[in-house]
Amino acid sequence: MLTTWLGWRSVFLVNVPVGVVAGLLTVHLVPRHQPRRGFGRELDLPGAALAVAGLVMLAYALAGASAHGWGSARTLLLLALALSLLAGFATVERSVRRPLVPAQLWRTRSLVAGVLVMLGATGILVGTFFLNSLYLQEVQGASALRVGLEFLPLALVIGAGAHLGSRLLPRAGSRLLIVAGLAMMGAGALLLTGASARSGYLTGFLPGLLVVGIGAGLVLPATAITAMSDIAEDQAGTAAGLMTTAHEIGAALGVAVFSAVAVATGGGIAAGYRHGFTTAAAVTAGLAVVAALLVPAVRPAAGTRVAVH
């Protein structure tokens, strides 16, 4: 509704009242805490600065790749700068007393596998939202409000899939659910390749969206459980931060890659929509193979709470 009535920039205003309320509640609810002497000197501020700068530069490069081209000087320069900053971050982490990301976390197979799956699955899911938003509005002439309503079933089945996945995890294990969920996401992408300008929403788009959503619902909770299964309690916050970072970078990567494929063929989204989802299906198949080889079969105790980003 905000996009239709006030323009796309208005969506950023949603965070303003939320931030104000959160700030006021923090003042009244969070107890005062005096950090111990020397605590600030233990913080890995150089590492944090390099990590944030590198990730922001990477996201910026990926977000603009579809408009400027993957081989453009702008994209290549930004990617090189991002990699240099992240390489600097890795160098700093080996020399500081309290690194932002301890090296032993990268030796934890379950966490590394979870980060990879989260990055890939988020990219496919967000790419699905993005390509269909463009196609439904630019090719089929739908309003932003109508497209938002047409995405509601996708959001609902993601929640339903997550609920089902959390119930199946203790019996099936995380690896089976992740591979099965990725297979469903790939099948949904293949269904969407059959949509055209003459397709109706109920028969041309909704089936593929629902299959992608159910698959994502199975993948996400299983990935969260897998990633955190071998993490010590004192490292849980850092590991969760890595998963959130993978989620955000995966979203930027998915939009950049699939939109770049869609427009690279010429003719805009109308001609490239099918190619975008063909690529999504191929990427999902490859990710499913990687998951089958790398993801351990984690079976949490029945009743374990599962968080889904």
Please state, as a whole number, how many other Cβ atoms lie within 10 Å of the Cβ of residue 24: 10
In this structure, are 4 and 77 located in the same domain? no
Q: For the chain, how many structural domains are there in total?
A: 3
In this structure, are 149 and 92 located in the same domain? no
* 217/210 Cα distance (integer angstroms): 10
Q: How many CA atoms lie within 13 A of 86 on its CB side?
A: 12
In this structure, are 210 and 304 located in the same domain? yes
Tokens of 42: 């233990």
On whether residue 147 sits in a domain, the answer given is yes
On whether residue 154 sits in a domain, the answer given is yes
In this structure, are 155 and 87 located in the same domain? no
In this structure, are 239 and 145 located in the same domain? yes
Backbone φ, ψ for residue 34 (5° rounding): -95, 110
* End position of a domain, from candidates 53, 81, 100: 100
Percent of the chain with pLDDT over 70: 93
On whether residue 291 sits in a domain, the answer given is yes
On whether residue 36 sits in a domain, the answer given is no
The domain in which residue 162 lies consists of: 108-309
Tokens of 129: 């939202």
- Mean local confidence (pLDDT), 123-141: 93
* End position of a domain, from candidates 77, 100, 123: 100
On whether residue 157 sits in a domain, the answer given is yes
DSSP annotation of 58: H
Q: What is the pLDDT of residues 30-67, one digit of tens each?
A: 887 666 665 555 678 888 899 989 988 988 888 787 77
In this structure, are 151 and 177 located in the same domain? yes
109-to-193, 224, 230 alpha-carbon distances in Å: 35, 13, 9
pLDDT of residue 42: 67
In this structure, are 80 and 172 located in the same domain? no
In this structure, are 160 and 258 located in the same domain? yes
- Mean local confidence (pLDDT), 142-161: 93
Q: Which residues contact 56 (CB under 8 A, 6 or more apart)?
A: none
Query: Comparing C-alpha atoms, which of 88, 87, 90 is closest to residue 101?
Result: 90
- Where is pLDDT greater, at 235 or 84? 84
In this structure, are 179 and 300 located in the same domain? yes
